[in-house]
Structure 1
Amino acid sequence: MSGYRPDVVEALPQMVADPPAAPTACHGRLTERARWQWRPTDGGDPAALTEAFLAAHGLPLHDLARPHPTGHDPDGLCGAALYISAAAGAHLTGGPTGAPNPTDLPEIAVVVYGHHDTPPDRTDPPAPWRPGPWTESWTPHQHATAVTAVREAIRAGDVYQVNLVGHARATYTGDPRPALARLGRLPGARYGGVLTGPGWAIGCASPETLIELRHGTLTTRPIKGTRPATAAGRTELLTSAKERAEHIMIVDLERNDLARVAATGTVQVDDLFAVRRWCDLWQAESTVRAQVADGLGLADLLRAVCPGGSVTGAPKLAALHHIAALEPVGRGASMGALGWVGTDHIDLGLTIRTAAADHTGLHVWAGGGITWDSDPDAEVAEAAAKTAPVRAALHATQPIALPT
């Protein structure tokens, strides 16, 4: 049985807050001021409620083209961490939310932070970390069968691409937060960090930008296409017609998502199919930018971009229906959004390469986009390659030597 319980986590020694995408200069100085969480049983419009909660705590985001005039206050309000699950994102876009969440987490969490001058004292060391073996939610054969089902749907003309995600769970004892923090330090983790709540914690090592807003410019950086980080793997990724077609399909979807909330005629694509490294993998990334439309609020922005196209498929709503039918376990903390809402910017990562801990255990997810050219066995192998560094970081009992 796990030693991590909702009634225990509050008694654990306080850790320095380090949520993904928080201002670097504020690391080690953040202190929680207010928190709001949402689950489907709470009802209401979660996007509108998120915007209203932030406005009530000094972050008015009803017109993103006109940022807060005071900017960041190094001695006062810093900003807020924002987490949105994949199921919540599907809810926002009007799609099916999929299989039940395997974790006891809220579907949305917002934590507002100020600053303190000295880090909190931690008099006791964390309890020894002992994770158990992984239990997969589907077998390689079941995964491959789901890939075949997507290919049949594509042949029938129901959909062009569907992202399939698998899940695994491990029991554990001890404090999971140092292990999740170690995950967040993996190389290439643009959104590395940890967000915690009563009875739960999320660790993120994501390299992918779901949505960023700075100085009036909206940016998303979809990632599609993966190969081993070798010279041969890079060449194979750059020359793969299948990977390029899959990638460009999602870039087009992201262009359409941004066009819904952008000033007319401002959407553009930069760095199409650029190859980046995450741990021991090459991945293809593009950059899509647009100028924010006047009067756009946070709630409408979240409705437009959640859930991310690179982890759903195209068309998005049709892909969500196939995901709900084929995935046996919900996506939990993965394939959603996690990042920072500041007084003058927004920066949310897509929660790939993400793990969560709750009273039921430790959870990880991984998957990939399925097109007509997908090979079922290759897709199973790709998902395993993506989750391997995550599992290794979580299971290490000593610090991992990371490459410089």
Structure 2
Amino acid sequence: MSSDAPIGWIEPLDVAAGLRARDGALCLLSDGGPNGRYSYVAAEPDRVRVEPMGPDGLGAAVATGMDRNVVGVVAYDWGARPATGARETAWPDLILARYPTMLVFDHLERRVRIRGDTARAGRWLAEARPPAPSAPPAEAFVEDAADDRYRAAVADVVVRIGDGELFQANVARGWSGRLRDDADPLDVFARLAGGPAPYGAWWRIGDRALVSNSPELFVTFDPGDHRVETRPIKGTRARSADPAEDAARAAELIASEKDRAENLMIVDLMRNDLARVSEPGSVVVERLFALESFATVHHLVSTVTARARPGVGPGHVLQAIFPPGSVTGAPKHQAMKVIAGHEPPRGPWCGSLFMIDEVGRMTASVLIRTIALWREADRWRFRTQAGAGITADSDPQAELEETEAKIVAIRRALLG
């Protein structure tokens, strides 16, 4: 039984904290801003799929009984495989879970609605409690390789661009570690959520978990009017505590020819990707080089929309444009080959977390500002990454500093 009667406001993170030990516990936490009006909390999925996929697997996977009230994660490496070949990975291509009951939190109206079983949802609400303040949950935060190795990777990509091999590639660094004995992924999420973003997420499935504080929309799809929208991010400056300096950094980003060119390359790539599933002439750039500011960084964000062809569903849209162009480069196929030469498999990082609601509307984020966790011998281990878009005039030290700006919130959440 579902209920459309709204319930008085309760913080979604408090409800999630009460569900932390339940199977499939989920919190999709928005900042309540213009890009994130709704948050969602659920647990106890009635169907879960964890699997590898063939080249056509994504479209089929979300069109056969897993296309409503479904949450899924697609690993970056599945989409990169046509360019990189088979690489041994520890993370599955796809995780899907269907939720018969879900709580929907409307930040604008400050109301909560129930999808599904009202009795079950009532028990979840009764168990809500604020997450207890915790000590820094990580024992260590260890970089995969020395800074010089990253600078050398950037320099190599610049040479390849100069040789005409590609125009841009997003190259990342990684960090890993282990949580304390008494810590778990929700402790990390509660600390990271203090710097809100529109596409925050905590999801625990078996011995795997994701914690994300992503600012980036990958794609939305509305089956009613067939509208598709993507908002790629390219261009970053670190925030400053000094208001005048912070404003100067934002102005510098807006005026930066390098960052605008980098953003435009990805906009063109996304236009091309969307055209594969869209009606001819419907792909439109609605917004170009808009400034969006978050807790630790400023970004340049553009908006591209299209109208999907009849018969195209959410899985087909994902399949046509995955992986996100903002985290690969251009041309996408060659950029992914170059990335694989400098990085181990990425797992869920730079893949996508998506939700398809009860009427088939899909919202998918880009899994940046994201931590992948897995349990070994009753301890949680983690890995996270941060990257930068490398272009012809990239400076290796400046790109290193950009990755530092992007990872700072995660480092603070883990280490304090």
In the alignment, the residues of structure 2 paired with residue 183 and residue 287 of structure 1 have an alpha-carbon distance, to the nearest angstrom, of 30
Residue 4 of structure 1 is matched in structure 2 by: none
CA offset digits 1:187-241 (Å, max 9, x no partner): 4511111111111100111111111012421000000000123111111101111
Residue 276 of structure 2 is matched in structure 1 by: 260
Contact 1:210–1:305 (8 Å) recurs in 2? no
Residue 33 of structure 2 is matched in structure 1 by: none
Residue 83 of structure 2 is matched in structure 1 by: 95
User: How many Å apart are 1:186 and its aligned residue?
Assistant: 4.4
User: How many Å apart are 1:350 and its aligned residue?
Assistant: 0.3
Q: Does 1:46 align with 2:54?
A: no
In the alignment, the residues of structure 2 paired with residue 25 and residue 161 of structure 1 have an alpha-carbon distance, to the nearest angstrom, of 34
Residue 121 of structure 2 is matched in structure 1 by: 117
User: How many Å apart are 1:332 and its aligned residue?
Assistant: 1.7
Residues 99 and 373 of structure 1: CA distance in aligned 2, closer, same or farther (over 3 Å): farther
Gaps of 5+ in 2: 1-19, 31-35, 102-119, 240-245
CA offset digits 1:319-338 (Å, max 9, x no partner): 011011122x2212210000
Residue 376 of structure 1 is matched in structure 2 by: 396
Residue 195 of structure 1 is matched in structure 2 by: 203
Q: Which has the higher contact order (CA 8 A, sep 6+)?
A: 1
TM-score by length of 1: 0.81
207, 228, 234: which one aligns with 2:238: 228
329, 351, 364: which one aligns with 2:367: 351
Local SS of the residue matching 1:114? coil
In the alignment, the residues of structure 1 paired with residue 95 and residue 287 of structure 2 have an alpha-carbon distance, to the nearest angstrom, of 33
Residue 4 of structure 2 is matched in structure 1 by: none
Residue 71 of structure 2 is matched in structure 1 by: 81
Q: What does 1:241-256 align with in structure 2 at a 5 Å threshold? A: 241-256=257-272
Residue 185 of structure 2 is matched in structure 1 by: 177
82, 85, 93: which one aligns with 1:107: 93
383, 386, 389: which one aligns with 2:409: 389
Local SS of the residue matching 2:230? strand
Contact 1:98–1:325 (8 Å) recurs in 2? no
Contact 1:186–1:205 (8 Å) recurs in 2? no
Q: What does 1:112-191 align with in structure 2 at a 5 Å threshold? A: 112-115=98-101, 116-120=120-124, 121=127, 130-173=137-180, 174-182=182-190, 185-191=193-199
User: How many Å apart are 1:13 and its aligned residue?
Assistant: 2.6
In the alignment, the residues of structure 1 paired with residue 204 and residue 85 of structure 2 have an alpha-carbon distance, to the nearest angstrom, of 23
Local SS of the residue matching 1:307? coil
| Equivalent position amino acid for 1:362 in 2 | F
User: How many Å apart are 1:179 and its aligned residue?
Assistant: 2.6
Residue 69 of structure 1 is matched in structure 2 by: none
Residue 339 of structure 1 is matched in structure 2 by: 354
Local SS of the residue matching 2:46? strand
| Equivalent position amino acid for 1:90 in 2 | A
In the alignment, the residues of structure 1 paired with residue 46 and residue 317 of structure 2 have an alpha-carbon distance, to the nearest angstrom, of 25
Q: Does 1:18 align with 2:53?
A: no
Q: Does 1:219 align with 2:229?
A: yes
| Equivalent position amino acid for 2:411 in 1 | R
Local SS of the residue matching 1:272? strand
In the alignment, the residues of structure 1 paired with residue 84 and residue 284 of structure 2 have an alpha-carbon distance, to the nearest angstrom, of 30
| Equivalent position amino acid for 2:354 in 1 | G
Residues 99 and 370 of structure 1: CA distance in aligned 2, closer, same or farther (over 3 Å): farther
Q: What does 1:264-303 align with in structure 2 at a 5 Å threshold? A: 264-303=280-319
TM-score by length of 2: 0.79
Q: Could you say what the CA RMSD is over the residues aligned between the two structures, in angstroms?
A: 2.7
Deviates more, 1:23-32 or 1:194-203: 23-32
Local SS of the residue matching 2:27? coil
Gaps of 5+ in 1: 1-11, 60-77, 397-404
Deviates more, 1:133-142 or 1:349-358: 133-142
